[in-house]
Structure 1
Amino acid sequence: MQGCIGTGWGKFRIAHLSTSDKIGIELFEFPNNETPENNFEYWKTGIFHYCVQDPDLEGLVEKIKAHGGKQRMPVREYYTGEKPFRMVYCKDPFGNLVEIYSHSYELTYSEDAY
């Protein structure tokens, strides 16, 4: 995660959820989040990132870079030598953070799934 959001953030809480139709959802909570006085400051919100799945992860990274995006971190292997699951964070050409998985969300995070 350090390559995604930089250094100095310490720790965070995360929940991984998966639906029966293979949709993955991640919920992040950072310890220094703030609750606004008026309950919802819509002008300060936006997407944190979105995620896509592509078995040719490296090829998609090259396409993103060729169209003005950037790779934010080296490709990460989840289970080196055991399973071929990989991920990487990039910035798309519009400046949005994009996470790319090589395999489906439920395969990546479920125990003994491969």
Structure 2
Amino acid sequence: MTQTPPRTFSHIGLSVPDLDKAVAFYRDVMGFYVIMEPTEIEEDDSAIGAMCNDVFGPGWSRFRIAHLATGDRIGFELFEFPDNYQPEDNLPHRQVGLFHFAIQDPDLEGLLQKILAAGGRQRMPVREYFPGEKPYRMVYVEDPFGIVFELYSHSYELTYSAGAYE
């Protein structure tokens, strides 16, 4: 059996209530690059219109979108749909599907303070994975729009790889 090498992660898409405010937060607080300014997409016969019909089905009308990127070239796609709404549970951990993403910053506490100052929320205390042994830390937060994500102080691979527990 031939093993396929690991694939790379391209991007994540988030639905936000206010695209301009979300772009400002992810650019100014999180430090992401804006690679496409907020743009309105309308349901029509264009290539993007047809693609959106495939994804959303007919009758989606319009939405606004912006593209950002992290320092390691991961795409961050922000959508603002008309008539968007906040879910009752913004951390549906028992629901099958995506329920969070994680951002890495060695100054986890500094980034946490910037998120809080921008209107975000801390969902738990900063925790150490290996107290007294290794400086790996994490915390769950919400952006100002209620989207839950996790902050890591160290890389995912370093935190979970063999040897990280020794």
Structure-1-length-normalised TM-score: 0.59
Partner of 1:65: 116
Partner of 1:79: 130
1:102 is aligned, of 153, 156, 165, to 153
Partner of 2:51: none
Task: Name the structure, 1 or 2, with higher relative contact order (CA <8 Å, separation 6+).
Answer: 1
Map 1:4-23 onto structure 2 (within 5 A): none
Question: Within the alignment, does 1:112 sit opposite 2:112 as a pair?
Answer: no
Amino acid in structure 1 at the alignment position of 2:103: V
Q: How far apart in 2 are the matches of 1:52 and 1:78?
A: 16
1:53 is aligned, of 104, 124, 145, to 104
Larger radius of gyration: 2
Structure number with higher strand proportion: 2
Q: May I ask how many residue pairs the two structures share in their alignment?
A: 78
Q: How far apart in 2 are the matches of 1:21 and 1:81?
A: 33
Secondary structure of 1:95 counterpart: coil
Q: How far apart in 2 are the matches of 1:67 and 1:74?
A: 18
* Structure 1 unaligned residues grouped into runs of 5+: 1-18, 23-28, 35-44
Identity %: 61
Q: Which whole-Å deviations, capped at 9, do the CAs of 1:6-55 have from their partners, x for residues lacking one?
A: xxxxxxxxxxxxx5879xxxxxx84xx58xxxxxxxxxx7x411210000
Amino acid in structure 2 at the alignment position of 1:83: K
Amino acid in structure 2 at the alignment position of 1:53: Q
Q: Deviation above 2 Å: which 4+ runs of structure 1?
A: 19-22
Amino acid in structure 1 at the alignment position of 2:124: M
